[in-house]
Structure 1
Amino acid sequence: MSQYRKVPWQRNIRRIPDAVSSKLNEIERGRGIVPVCTKRVAASDLKAGIFGHLTLSLQGDEPSFSASVLPPSNSGAYSIKNRHGWEIKRTDLPMVPKNIYLGERPIYGDWSNGSFSLWQQRDVYQIEEYGPTDYSIEIDLLRRIDDGFLFKFALDCTLDRDDDGFNDDLLFCLNLLQENTGSCGIESSAKSREDYIATTLVDWEIFPPGSFDRFLAKAKSTISDNSAETNRIIEERVAEFRRLSPERYILGKGGFNRYIGAVLPNGVVSFENIRYGNALYVLYEEWEDISQRSRSELLRGTNANYERIPHVEGWVERFRDAVRAGPSRQRR
């Protein structure tokens, strides 16, 4: 049984359509590219709920919808990546040594003597990790037509054709539209390159080490999901940062993502995306460099440059060990 909802259109495309390539050639260099399409939607399709995943419905004779919708995961593979990110195992690159946590073991075989963390070094393939793009679909009703309505669907992003990964990014966005609307295309953006760059950056706020309470309160206030469980996660992570004598606390906002973290001793930066709360990242790079990256490039390169520490048994010990080792851990 498919994990995706049924759709009455082709779900994905394997290459950029000729029509899109032709349109791209017509757009002036230096202008941003917006993934967008227009689509005739029959009133009967709205009534049948075919576009319900985008909140479109028919109320009497009039369409009802939200102005902006984050596509649901069950629309397809690209919608999943948009919400949750993805990983690529780089079998084409040399394997790298990684210390694998194997759990706690009793000292001299007797738990009453205490325990120790068991690690084993193994050669593993490098992993490229990509964070969620969090593109929403903006919906606009253009006009009524004979048997329904003409809608415009646009992703809330602007692409720069001078970017190295432009073709991959464009194909990703076209597939995101295709999965959710059954159509895809592009148009020129009124935004400048500078406007485009600004939308991709993470807005970091810095807190000195003595401002723990203020940092904790601000971290909680920036999260839309203010549940007891989310607050517990934030308190737990921030308390762990505090134990490691941070040089500064960091709070970041980028798209739907919210990051809490710290610049720690030994040339280490650690952060977590609280939207997911499933893993800490330990980066062995300079904070000044990391702070200038876009949200899609926070984990630049492969995991040879960082540690991902899932919140499973033993994560605290593994995190502390990674921080103590610092950049030297990459060579172990």
Structure 2
Amino acid sequence: MGTKRFPWKGNFLKVPPKVRADLDKIDGDLIAIAAVKSVSVADVQSGLYAHLGLETDLLDGSIVANGPRRPPEDAGKWSYRNARGWDRKRPDLPMVPKSFVWESPNFGDASTYGTHTHHQTRQVYQNQVFEAQGMEIEPTVLSQTTGDHVVVKFALTPLLNRGQPEFELMLLWALNVLQENTGVTGVASSTATKEDFLGTIQLDWDIFPPGTIDDVVSWFTSKPSAASRSPDFDKHLRDRTAAFNKLQPQSYIRGSGQFGSYFGAKFADDLVVFENLRYGNALYILYDDWGDISKRSRLDLLRDHDAKFDRVVHTADWQFQFDKIMRMEMSARRRGKGRR
């Protein structure tokens, strides 16, 4: 991660005892990750909290909050995972078969004799994939006097639910994101409703029939999203559509929610490809039934182990890897043999 960015303690290996005690006092399932801090005006003026939108007003010198902001990935290990996602190796689980595809030169000279494709399946440890979470931190100035400190509440979104998958791990993740970026962390009771919480994690799926690249791009961008504000979004979307179109999908899919924007294609009931366009770091090939996929929330969509999906990271040869895997899977289905 390089040089430590902030002067305070970076993160915790486990939930701090005080936070655990506060958590036990909270009634209900919805948990807000938040803490209050007395912040030095001098630190705000120096830009220590600028990454969260806490700044000095140029007109009257007061401290103002212009959040929420997504924490920078270089704030610490957990902030990096928040921005990029996390692959968690699971040696405690049974190994699973995984396919590998690569090209080798013919007779040692690809420029003269071309290449040939190798395909190998071998047993590997399962990985538990956590997609980029997109947590954001919102500062609120609670009191401001003429002194040299202001009282600020730092709150993380989205909320957590005790009943959600991997709650303990997600709690530690959220606490550490707040700690890495503010120097404080804690939990509080939430006044939000269950519907408010579900609105941050559930996805609405739309289906669109195959069409030209322009048709698909126009359809996807007809519903504004956080992803559409990303750099090179239009080129990104066109590149993915071109890759999918070559394989003749049955339909295109769009999943949208408060903290995610997904684009993909369905090739069979148990062969669906998509990626989160807000982050755009990998394509996911899922082998679950589409009826099951469409009911899953943003938070648990990829939280199964990789026996049920392949992840194609966007390296230089990602299109080659993606094309080979998909053609093998589609060929198996034409022969009446699905992957699973």
Q: CA deviation at 1:275?
A: 2.8
SS of residue in 2 equivalent to 1:158: strand
Residues 110 and 43 (structure 1), Cα distance of their counterparts in 2 relative to 1, 3 Å cut: closer
Aligned counterpart, 2:65: 65
Q: CA deviation at 1:112?
A: 6.1
Say if 2:102 and 2:118, in contact at 8 Å, map to a contact too.
yes
134-143 or 14-23: bigger deviation:
14-23
SS of residue in 2 equivalent to 1:28: coil
CA distance in 2, matches of 1:22, 1:114: 65
* 2:228 counterpart of 1:224: yes
* Cα deviation digits, residues 145-164 of structure 1 (max 9, x gap): 43221111101221112334
Identity %: 36
* 2:38 counterpart of 1:34: no
Aligned counterpart, 2:293: 290
Q: CA deviation at 1:278?
A: 3.6
Aligned counterpart, 1:135: 135
* Cα deviation digits, residues 109-144 of structure 1 (max 9, x gap): 776665432222232221111101111111111111
Aligned counterpart, 1:95: 95
Cα RMSD after superposing both structures: 2.7
Aligned counterpart, 2:12: 13
Residues 118 and 94 (structure 1), Cα distance of their counterparts in 2 relative to 1, 3 Å cut: same
SS of residue in 2 equivalent to 1:159: strand
98-107 or 159-168: bigger deviation:
98-107
- Runs of 5+ unmatched residues, structure 1: none
Aligned counterpart, 1:78: 78
Residues 151 and 109 (structure 1), Cα distance of their counterparts in 2 relative to 1, 3 Å cut: closer
Say if 1:132 and 1:296, in contact at 8 Å, map to a contact too.
no
* 2:280 counterpart of 1:247: no
**Amino acid in structure 1 at the alignment position of 2:125:** Y
Q: CA deviation at 1:41?
A: 0.7
When the two structures are superposed, what TM-score results if normalisation uses the length of structure 1? 0.88
Q: CA deviation at 1:61?
A: 2.8
**How many equivalent residue pairs?**
328
Aligned counterpart, 2:149: 148
Say if 1:68 and 1:137, in contact at 8 Å, map to a contact too.
yes
Aligned counterpart, 1:177: 178
Say if 2:36 and 2:153, in contact at 8 Å, map to a contact too.
yes
Say if 1:252 and 1:260, in contact at 8 Å, map to a contact too.
yes
**Amino acid in structure 2 at the alignment position of 1:81:** R
**Amino acid in structure 2 at the alignment position of 1:85:** G
CA distance in 2, matches of 1:300, 1:97: 18
* Cα deviation digits, residues 255-293 of structure 1 (max 9, x gap): 443221011037300012223334321111111111121
- Runs of 5+ unmatched residues, structure 2: none
When the two structures are superposed, what TM-score results if normalisation uses the length of structure 2? 0.86
Aligned counterpart, 1:305: 308
CA distance in 1, matches of 2:26, 2:314: 47
* 2:322 counterpart of 1:319: yes
